[in-house]
Amino acid sequence: MKFISLFFRLLIILCLTGISISLYSQTTLSQSDTTRKNAIRLFLDCHMCDMDYMRKEIPYINYVREVREAQLYLMVTTQQTGSGGREYSLFFTGQNEFAGMRDTLKYISKPDDTRDITRTGLTNTIAAGLMRYVVKTPIINSVKISYTGEPQEEPEQVADRWNFWVFEIETEPELNLEKSRHELNWQNDFSADRITTDWKLENRFSHEYRLNIFFREVEDEITGEISEERSEAVRRSWDYTNLTVKSLTDHWSAGLRSEILSSSYRNLDFSFRTIPSVEYNIFPYSQANRKQLRFLYGIGFIHNNYTDTTIYNKTEENLAEQSLDVAFEVQERWGSVHLSLEASHYLHDFSKNRVELDGYVRIRILKGLSLSINGGIEILHNQIELAKGGRSQEDVYLRLRELETNYRVDGGVGLVYTFGSIFNNVVNPRF
């Protein structure tokens, strides 16, 4: 009984201490927030931003969680640049007393920039864009603007000795060892790209080697001796792709898609594909980071040389194929939508076709409530390369060979509801 009484006394003391700490923290937080009483309420729609870092570097802003409560809405979108870096587009949209005020800024990171360099540059660009709005509030008196560079009399001329070509080499060996299993995965990739306003050239070469070695103990039926049995399973492939695109107008493009590959998984000893294509974007390409509705049509030639005889008794064949891809993307304050539809068929037999629909939708329904839906469905009737005969257990479990199927489906739904204080200024990195 004495122990129980002592326990409850300690519990009461801890609770009272926690309450006093909580009251002190709320008072301190309230005093801290008064320094932002006249600060702009910003809703930041940025999935790639380091929010903790940004709150520390830009402390003169009230970061709110509800777009309708904000005086300023900022959406950040990103696209890959020709050098392999990222172009960040910053769209500032004023609301309430700032209604009608709009600005667009861009920040471009280099392909070898570290995460810290990228977040610093992006945060500095956001801070610069905020100044137009901060200057209209009393808090501008607490903000200091400084220049850290050196003055230049003339603009510096940049000479590109690589003529816009960017190369990348990657090798990734991976080894996993267990008593009864050894696994070696080796992936190699090489790319050479040249992207300008008029031309887009992309070259990719990839090589994959996957080796699985299994060990098991086997007892001799006659002598009873135990021996170790070893078996191997190998999956290998290489693939070269080329994309050449010419910009025609702000809505039209023409190009050529080519591929050469060999894959034990797909029963292809050698395959060559070339498809001249044309694309039309209803919206100008200059608006691609906000909205797109693209139609891509192609018709081309395919030559396949199979490793094993196919289910159609072919060892090699020439084919003609046509395809149509439709892509729709939009990013707005209410959310974003990404949908793509791909359809293709062989010209010698329209029943040998494939249709795939993929997409995701993210919508802000009302204050604090958002909905996300993602999914895809693929209807397959064009698996002409499937090898004749059955599949071993290793083929099935280790995905060494492509299996026959006429559909693939995936999807998910998410619902998020957040409520409470609309302000989100405090950073606490503990634990």
Residue 409 has φ and ψ, to the nearest 5°, of -135, 140
Give the three-state DSSP class for 264: coil
- Three-class SS of residue 138? helix
pLDDT for position 425: 56
Q: Kindly list the structural domains of the chain, giving each domain's residue range(s) and its CATH number in brackets, ordered by start.
A: 40-142 (3.30.160), 165-417 (2.40.160)
189-217 pLDDT tens trace = 999 999 888 999 999 999 999 999 988 88
pLDDT, residue 100, reads 86
Mean pLDDT in residue range 227-244: 92
Residue 224, pLDDT > 70, answer: yes
Q: Report the 10 Å Cβ neighbour count for 289.
A: 20
C-alpha to C-alpha distances, 276 to 129, 136, 233, 353, nearest whole angstrom:
43, 54, 38, 19
Which of the four pLDDT bands, split at 50, 70 and 90, describes residue 30? very low
| Confidence category of residue 81, pLDDT binned at 50, 70, 90 | confident
Largest separation between any pair of C-alpha atoms in the chain: 94
Question: pLDDT grade, residue 359 (50/70/90)?
Answer: very high
The beta-strand segments (E) located in 46-124 are 61-63, 72-80, 86-94, 102-109
**CB atoms closer than 10 angstroms to residue 429:** 6
- Provide the whole-model pTM: 0.68
Instruction: Check residue 19 and give its pLDDT.
Output: 40
pLDDT digits (tens, 9 = 90+) for 33-45: 444 677 888 888 8
Q: What is the pLDDT of residue 333?
A: 74
Report the pLDDT value the prediction gives residue 354, as an integer from 0 to 100.
95
CA distance 265 to 256: 26
> What pLDDT is recorded for position 397?
67
* pLDDT > 70 in the chain, percent: 84
Which DSSP letter does residue 139 get? G
pLDDT for 28: 41
